[in-house]
Structure 1
Amino acid sequence: MTVSAPPALPAPDQRSSMLGVLRVYLGPLKGQVLLLAALLLGGTGLNLALPQLLSRFVDNAKLLGGADVALLSRLALTYIVLAVGVQLLSAAATYVGAQVGWTATNRLRADLMSHMLSLDMREHKERTPGEMIERIDGDVTALSNFFSQFAVRVFGAALLLTGALVMFWRTDPRVGAGVTIFTAVTLLTMNRVRKLGVEPTRLEREASAQLFGFVEERLAGLEDIRSLGAGGHHLNRFLQTQRAFFGRSVNSWRRRSVVWQLSMALFAVGYVGLLAAAVGLYAAGSITLGTAFLLYQYMSMVEEPIDQLTQQLQDLQKAGASLGRVAQLMALKSEITGGTRSLPAGPLELRFRDVSFNYAPSDPESRGVLRGVDFTLPAGQTLGLLGRTGSGKTTLTRLISRLYDPTAGQVTLGRAGEPGIDVRDVPLSELRSRVAVVSQDVQLFQASVRDNLSFFDPEITDAQVEAALREVGLGDWLARLPEGVRTPLPTGSLSAGEAQLLAFARVMLRDPALVILDEPSSRLDPATEALLTAAITRLLSGRTAIIIAHRLDTVARADRILVLGAGQVLEDGPREALAQNPRSHYADLLRAGAGAAEVLA
C-alpha cells in the first residue's frame, strides 16, 4: 500500500495576519482574483455613470413643452442597459468571489485537518473532538465570508467610494471637500471602534467550542447516561453550557453592533448637511435641479460602500477572532517528527533498551508509567504481554508506533544480529505502515466496507479487500452483502467479533512487519473466539507480534511471555520455560486461572 506524505503547510508566521492569510490562500488563485477585480472595476464604472444619466434626464424633463422626447428616450434606454450591465457584472463578481472564497477556505480546512492529524496525542487528550470540530468547521466557516465576501465587497466598496468622491469633486469642489472630510471622519471613527468586538467574538467562539465538546462527549456516552438514569443531570449541565454560550453571543453581537449604529448616526448627520448644501446652491443658482439630484445620488453611493465596509468590519471582527484561534492551533508543534532511515524488509526484531516513560515529565511528583524496561523480541516471534490493569502494557505498545516517545531509553527495530534502527530515525509514514495496531475498540466509519478496510485509499482494489476478508474468515459474511465490498456499513451494525475481524482484514491489506493486538478476545463468546483465534493464527504468520491479554488462553500461541508490574519488567522469557518453572509469575497466573476455572465448574 502506498503511504502518501501529508501536504506541506504554510509557515505559521504567514498565517498570523489577515494579509498573510490572503497571500497564502489567495495567492495561487491570482488569475481568478484578477478576473474578480476586472468585474468589480467594470461594475463600479457603470454604477458611477448612472447618476450622470439621471441628472441629464431630470434637467431635460423639467423643460415643460420644450423637452426633447427622443433624447429622453435614449437616456432612459441607456440607463436601463447600463443598469442591467451593473447587475450582470455584480452577479458575475459574486459568483467568482464565492468560488475564490470557498476554494481558499477548503484549502485552509485541509491544512487544519492535516495539521491536527500530525499533532501529538498529548494535544488531542487536552481537547475534546467536539472542540476540534468547531476549530475546523466553526472557525473556518467564520473565515469563509472573509475569503468569499470580504475581497469582493471591500474592494468593490473602495472602488465605488473613491469614484463617488471623485465625481463630487468634479461636480462641485466645495461639496467634494465637505463630503471627503465627512467620509474620512466616518471611516476613522469606525476603525477605532471596530476592535471592540474582537475579544468578545473570540470568547463566543470559545464558548461554541465548549458547547460542541459537551454535546460530543454526551453523545459518545449516551448508553451509560441512559442506563444510569443520569439524563436529567446532563440536561441541566447542557443548559448551563448553552446559557454561557448564549450570554457570550449576545455580548459579542452588542459590541460588534456599535459599528453600524455609529454609521447610521453619522450618515443621518451627513445627509442633512448634503441636502442643506444642495438646496443652498440651487437657490443661489450655482447648480441645476439635475445636479442637486446628482449630488444626492452620489451621497447614496458614499453611504452604500461605507455600509458595506461597516458590515464587513463586523465580519472582520469575527474573522479576526477565528483567525486568532486558528493561528493558535497552527502554532502548536508536534514533538514527534520522523527521520530518514528506512526499515529492512521482512519481520523485524524489536528491542527496548532501558526505556522509561512519563505522561507528565515536567511534573516532579508524577510517577513514570514505564521504568527501565529492557527486553528483546526476536523477528518472527510472538510476545504475550501480561500484567495488571495500569501496569503499562498499552503504553509500551504506543511507544513502538510513536504515538508517544520515551522519556528515556531507546526503542529499535531491525534485522536479527544487526544493530536496530531507533524508531525516532524512521519516517513516520513508513513506521506506521510497517507497524500495525489493532485496539480493543475498533473504529468503524459510516462508509462502504472497502472504505472501512482501505481507509479510503483508492489504490487498493476491490479484489484485494475481498481477499483480505476471506483470509480472516469473513467470506460467508461477504457473500451475504447485497453490493459486496461496496455495501455501506452503518456504525453499530456489527458484533464485537465481526468488528475485530474487520480490523484484522485492515492489517492484512497493509501487510505490516510487526502486529500489535490489544486484548483481541476480551469481549467475545467462545464460538466467535474460536473464529478469531484462527484469524489471529493467519494474521501473525511470518510476522513479529505482540498480544496484550488478561486471559491466558489468548497468549497460548505466544513464543515468549513478558509480565509487567508497576511499569517494570517482572519476567521475560520463552513461554514453555516459564510455564514449567513453578516459581515464575506466569506459572502463578496459570495456577490462578486453573483454580478460577474449577470454582466456576
Structure 2
Amino acid sequence: MKKQDKKMASWQAMKQLLPIIGRYRLLLFISIILAAVSVIFQLYVPIIFGRAIDQIVGPGKVDFPAIGQDLVQILILVIVSAAATWLMGLINNKLTYWTVQDIREKAIRQLQLLPLSYLDQHPSGDIVSRIIADTDQLSDGLLLGFSQLFSGLITIVATLAFMLSQSVEITLLVLVLTPLSFIVARFIASRSYQMFRKQSQTRGEQTSLIEEMVSGVKVVKAFGYEKTASSRFAEINHRLQEYSQQATFYSSLTNPATRFINSLIYALVALAGAFAIMGGRLTVGGLSVLLNYSNQYMKPFNDISSVITELQNAAACAGRVFELINEEPEADPVDLNKADGDLPEVKTGSVVFDHVNFSYQADKPLIRDFNLTAKPGMRVALVGPTGCGKTTTINLLMRFYDVDSGGIYLGGRNIKDMSRHALRKNFGMVLQDTWLEEGTVRDNLAYGKEDATDEEIIAAAKAAHSWCFIRRLPQGLDTPLSADSLSAGQKQLLCITRVMLLDPPMLILDEATSSIDTRTEMLIQAAFDKLMQGRTSFVVAHRLSTVVNADLILVMKDGQIIERDKHADLLARGGFYSQLYRSQFAKLPS
C-alpha cells in the first residue's frame, strides 16, 4: 500500500472512533437527555418573558401578580437548566477521557505487536507524538464536541418548534436563510482539515527531531552539530508556524462569516415581525419571543462551526493515531493475555539454518544460502567485518524479521510454527546497545523474572561481577536509575546480570562485553563460559579474543559463510579469519 493511501480521511477516522465511544452509550444517552432538559428549559424562558410583556398593557394596566408568577417560573427553569448543564459537563469529561484512555491503550498494545521493520522505518519521536500529543488534541476536540454539539443540535430543533408555535411565516423565513450558514461552514471546514493534518504531521516531525537531539546531546556537542541541528529545527518550526497560521486563519473565518448571516436573519425577522404586528397577526411580546429565538436559533450554528473546526483538528489527530492502530501486526503477534507458564518450551537446543535467504530491501540481497547446524550445547561464534550480516542472522533466529526463503529450525521445529513469545522465552540475549527502564536496580535485573528473590538477584550479580558496584549505590538494589546515573560499562554489566538471573536454555551474546574494561571482561568471560556449559550459544564478536574457545566459528562476509571451523584450525588455514585475527594482535611499531 502506498504511503499516501494510508492517510486516513476525517470521515474514516470518525467512523473508527464511533465504536469506541459506543462502549459508553449509557453515558452518551444521559448526556443527550441532560442537554435536552437544559436547552428546552432555557428556550421556554423567552415564552414566559413574552407573556409577562403582554401583561403590561399600558399605564395602570399591569397585572403584577401574573408577572410575579412568571418571574418565579423563570427562576426555577434557570436553576434546573444550570444544574443539568453542570451534570452534563461532568459526564462529558468522563466520556471524553475514558474514550481517549481506550485509544491510548489500543495504540500502546498495537505498538508492542508491530513488526520491528515498522519501528525501524518510523522515528520514535513521531510515534510518541501520535500517542501523546495527537490524543491530547483529540481529547480537546471531543470534549468541546460533546459539550456543544449535542446542545447545539437540540437547540436548533427545539427553537424551530417554539418558533412555529408563535409564527409559521417568520419560521419559514428563518428556515429558507439557514442553508447559508451550512454552506459557509462547509466551505471553510474542507480547507481547514488539510491544514490541521499537516500541522499534526509537522508537530510529530518536530517532536522526533527534539527527541533525537536531546538523547544524543553528547554526540551533537562532540561533533559541533549544534548549528545544523538548530537550522533543521528552525526549518521544521517555520513549516509548523505556516501550517498553524493557515489552519487558524481558515478556522477563524467561520465565526465572523456565520455571525454576519445571523445578523442578517435577525434584521429580517425584526422587519417581518413589525409588519405582522401592524397587521394584527403578532403581539409585541410575541415579536420579542421571535427575536430572542432567532438569536437562539442561529447561536448554535456559531457554536457548531467552532466545534467543527475543533473536530477537524481532532479528526486529523485521530487519523494519525488510527493509522498506527491499523498497521498490520506481526503474522503471529504475542498474546498479551497469555501467561508465560502456558508457553511451550523447546526440549532440545539444536538450531538449524536451512538454505536461508533474507534482504531488508528486495533489490539488495544480504543473507544468501545460509546453512548451519548447531547441536545442543554447542557454542557458535559469528565473526566478520561490519555489515556482513552477523546481527541480521541473530535477528532472523529471534524472529525480529522473518526469512525470505528457506527455514530455521529449533529443536526440530520450524520457528515459523512457534509463536514469537514462545521462541524468545528460550533465549537469553545481551546486546551491544544497553537498555534500562526508569526504575530501581532490582526492577531492571528482574525484568525477565519478576518473582526472583533477593538471594537469586545477588547471586546473579556476583556471577556477572556487578555486585561490587551495586552494593556501593546509595540504596543498593532499591536505587532508582536514570539515563545518566550509570556508566556505559555498568549498564552493560546490569544487562549481563539480567540474563544470568534468567538462566535461559540458550544464549545470544551480541558484542556483550564491548563497553567493559579488559580485566572485568576476562572475569565476565569466565562467568559466561560457566553459564554456556550445556547450552546452545551464539556469540557475535568483533574482538576475536572472546571467541577462541567456541566449538564452531563462522566467518561471514557479504551475507555468506566463507569459512567455518575451530579457532586453531582457522588460524592454521591462513585464510580470511587468520588475517582478521592477526590484524587485531599485530605488534604496533615502536
TM-score (norm 2): 0.89
Q: How many Å separate the matches in 2 of 1:62 and 1:456?
A: 86
Q: 1:315 aligns with which of 295, 303, 310?
A: 310
* Structure 2 residue 385 is matched with structure 1 residue 394: no
Counterparts of 2:404 and 2:279, CA distance in 1: 88
Q: Are the structure 2 counterparts of residues 425 and 281 from structure 1 closer, same or farther at C-alpha, using a change threshold of 3 Å?
A: same
Shift of 1:510: 4.4
Q: CA deviation at 1:403?
A: 1.4
Alpha carbons of 1:263 and 1:196: their partners in 2 closer, same or farther (altered >3 Å)? same
Aligned-partner Cα distance in 1 for 2:170–2:200: 44
Distance 2:11 2:496 in 1: 43
- Residue deviations 1:459-480, cap 9 Å, x none? 6777765665455333344434
Evaluate the alpha carbon distance shift between residue 485 and residue 145 of structure 1 in structure 2; reply closer, same or farther with a 3 A threshold: same
**1:76 is aligned to 2:62:** no
1:24-35 paired onto structure 2 within 5 Å: 24-35=19-30
Q: Using the alignment, how far apart are the partners of 1:58 and 1:465 within structure 2?
A: 84
Q: TM-score, normalised by structure 1?
A: 0.87
Q: 1:553 maps to which residue?
A: 545
**Alignment counterpart, residue 119 of structure 2, candidates 116, 124, 131:** 124
Q: Match of 2:553, SS?
A: strand
1:380 aligns with 2:377: yes
2:247 to 252, 263, 283: 252
Residue deviations 1:384-410 (CA, integer Å, cap 9, x gap):
221111111111111111111122221
Which runs of no fewer than 5 residues in structure 2 stay unpaired?
A: 1-6, 336-341
1:221-300 equivalences in 2 (<5 Å)? 221-300=216-295
Task: Tell me the amino acid that sits aligned with residue 376 of structure 2.
Answer: A
Shift of 1:455: 4.9
| C-alpha contact 1:339 1:426 (8 A) present in aligned 2 | no
**Counterpart selection for 2:191 from 174, 190, 196:** 196
Report the alpha carbon displacement of residue 154 of structure 1 after superposing the two structures with TM: 1.4
* Residue 521 of structure 1, CA deviation: 1.6
d(CA) in 1 for partners of 2:444, 2:259 = 56
* Deviation, structure 1 residue 274: 1.8
Q: Hey, what does 1:496 align to over in structure 2? A: 488
**Counterpart-to-counterpart distance in 2, 1:462 and 1:302:** 70
Distance 2:436 2:316 in 1: 35
Name the SS for the 2:432 alignment partner.
coil
Closer, same or farther in 2 for the Cα pair 1:79/1:456, shift >3 Å? farther
The match for 1:186 among 159, 181, 186 is 181
Q: Choose which of 514, 528, 551 in structure 1 pairs with 2:506.
A: 514
Partner of 1:403: 400
CA distance 1:125–1:18, change in 2 (3 Å)? closer
Question: Match of 1:390, as an amino acid?
Answer: G
Which amino acid is the alignment partner of residue 494 of structure 2? L
Counterpart position of 1:3: none
8 Å CA contact 1:256, 1:317 repeated in 2? no
Say if 1:134 and 1:476 are closer, same or farther in 2 by CA, change over 3 A: same
Pairwise CA distance, 1:308: 1.7
- Cα contact 2:188–2:250 (8 A) shared by 1: no
Deviation at 1:315, TM superposition (A): 1.7
DSSP-derived class of the 1:517 partner = strand
Are 2:425 and 1:433 equivalent residues in the alignment? yes
Letter of the structure 2 residue corresponding to residue 350 of structure 1: V
The RMSD of aligned alpha carbons is 3.0
Instruction: Give me the whole-angstrom Cα distance separating, in 1, the residues matched to 2:300 and 2:456.
Output: 60
After superposition, the Cα gap between the structure-2 partners of 1:456 and 1:552, relative to the gap in structure 1 and judged at 3 Å, is closer
**What is the distance in 1 between the residues matched to 2:130 and 2:450?**
28
The alpha-carbon distance between structure 1 residues 395 and 273, as it changes in their structure 2 partners (threshold 3 A), is same
Structure 1 segments unaligned to the other structure (5+ residues): 1-11, 415-419
| Structure-to-structure mapping, 1:86-485, within 5 angstroms | 86-334=81-329, 336-337=331-332, 344-346=345-347, 348-361=349-362, 363=363, 366=364, 368-414=365-411, 420-455=412-447, 468-485=460-477
SS in 2 for 1:499: helix
Amino acid at match of 1:404: Y
* Alpha carbons 2:496, 2:512 under 8 Å: kept: no
Q: Distance in 2 between matches of 1:62 and 1:505?
A: 94
Q: Which moved more, 1:214-223 or 1:302-311?
A: 214-223
What is the CA–CA distance in structure 1 between the aligned matches of 2:66 and 2:446, rounded to whole Å? 73
Matched residues in 2 for 1:544 and 1:88: separation? 70
Hey, what does 2:339 align to over in structure 1? none
Q: Is the 8 A contact 1:348 1:379 kept in 2?
A: yes
Classify the secondary structure of the residue corresponding to 1:488: coil
Separation of aligned partners in 2, 1:199 and 1:410: 46
Q: C-alpha separation between the residues in 1 aligned to 2:560 and 2:271?
A: 89
- Write out per-residue CA displacement over residues 108-130 of structure 1, whole angstroms, 9 at most, x where no aligned residue: 12222222332233322322111
Q: CA deviation at 1:585?
A: 4.7
Q: How does 1:572-587 map to 2 (within 5 A)?
A: 572-575=564-567, 577-578=569-570, 581-583=572-574, 585-587=576-578
Alignment partners' CA distance in 2, 1:457 and 1:259: 58
1:246 shift after superposition: 0.8
Deviating more after overlay: 191-200 vs 388-397? 191-200
Cα distance change, pair 591–230 in 1 and its aligned pair in 2 (3 A): closer
Q: Is the 8 A contact 1:346 1:513 kept in 2?
A: no
Q: Percent identity?
A: 25
What residue number does 1:4 align with? Answer: none
Aligned partners of 2:549, 2:47: CA distance in 1, in Å?
92
| Higher mean displacement: 133-142 or 93-102 | 133-142
Deviation by residue 1:467-513 (Cα, 9 ceiling, x = unmatched): 65455333344434455544321112111222112212333454433
Cα distance in 1, alignment partners of residues 435 and 332 from structure 2: 25
Once the two structures are overlaid, the 10-residue window that deviates more, 304-313 or 38-47, is 38-47
* Structure 1 letter corresponding to 2:379: T
Please report how far the alpha carbon of residue 158 of structure 1 lies from its aligned counterpart in structure 2 after TM superposition: 0.7
For residue 565 of structure 2, give the secondary structure of its aligned residue in structure 1. strand
**How much has 1:546 moved relative to structure 2?**
1.2
CA shift at 1:60, angstroms?
3.1
One of 33, 51, 58 as aligned partner of 1:56: 51
Structure 2: distance between partners of 1:146 and 1:466: 51
Shift in Å at residue 25 of structure 1?
A: 0.5
Q: State whether residues 14 and 21 of structure 1, in contact with CA within 8 Å, keep that contact through their aligned partners in structure 2.
A: no
Taking the aligned partners of 1:198 and 1:233, their CA distance within structure 2 comes to 32
Question: Which residue pairs with 2:3 in the alignment?
Answer: none
Q: Secondary structure at the match of 1:17?
A: helix
Q: Give the 3 Å change call, closer, same or farther, for CA 461–96 of structure 1 in structure 2.
A: farther
Work out the CA distance in 2 between the residues paired with 1:500 and 1:382. Answer: 21
| Residues matched between the structures, number | 578
User: Could you tell me which amino acid in structure 2 is paired with residue 358 of structure 1?
Assistant: S
Query: For the structure 1 residues 162 and 468, does the alpha-carbon distance in structure 2 shift closer, same or farther, using more than 3 Å as the test?
Result: farther
Residue 525 of structure 2 corresponds to 533
Is the partner of 2:546 in helix, strand or coil?
helix
Question: Partner of 1:570: helix, strand, or coil?
Answer: strand
Q: Alpha-carbon deviation of 1:527?
A: 3.5
Counterpart pick for 1:67 among 62, 75, 98: 62
Contact in 2 for aligned 1:398/1:404 (Cα 8 Å): yes
- How much has 1:375 moved relative to structure 2? 0.9
Moved more, 461-470 or 42-51: 461-470
Secondary structure of 1:489 counterpart: coil
Instruction: Write the distance in 2 (CA, Å) between the matches of 1:455 and 1:282.
Output: 82
Alpha-carbon offset, residue 584 of structure 1 = 5.5
The residue identity in structure 2 corresponding to 1:392 is G
State yes or no: 1:38 paired with 2:33.
yes
Write the deviation string for residues 235-261 of structure 1: whole angstroms up to 9, x where unpaired. 122211211111121122223333333
Specify whether residues 319 and 480 from structure 1 end up closer, same or farther in structure 2 by C-alpha distance, changes over 3 A only: same
CA distance in 2 between counterparts of 1:44 and 1:546 reads 71
Q: Aligned partners of 1:302, 1:470: CA distance in 2, in Å?
A: 77
Distance apart, 1:182 and its partner CA = 2.2
For 1:417, the equivalent position in structure 2 comes to none
**CA–CA separation in structure 1 for the residues paired with 2:308 and 2:91:** 21
- Secondary structure, aligned partner of 2:352: strand
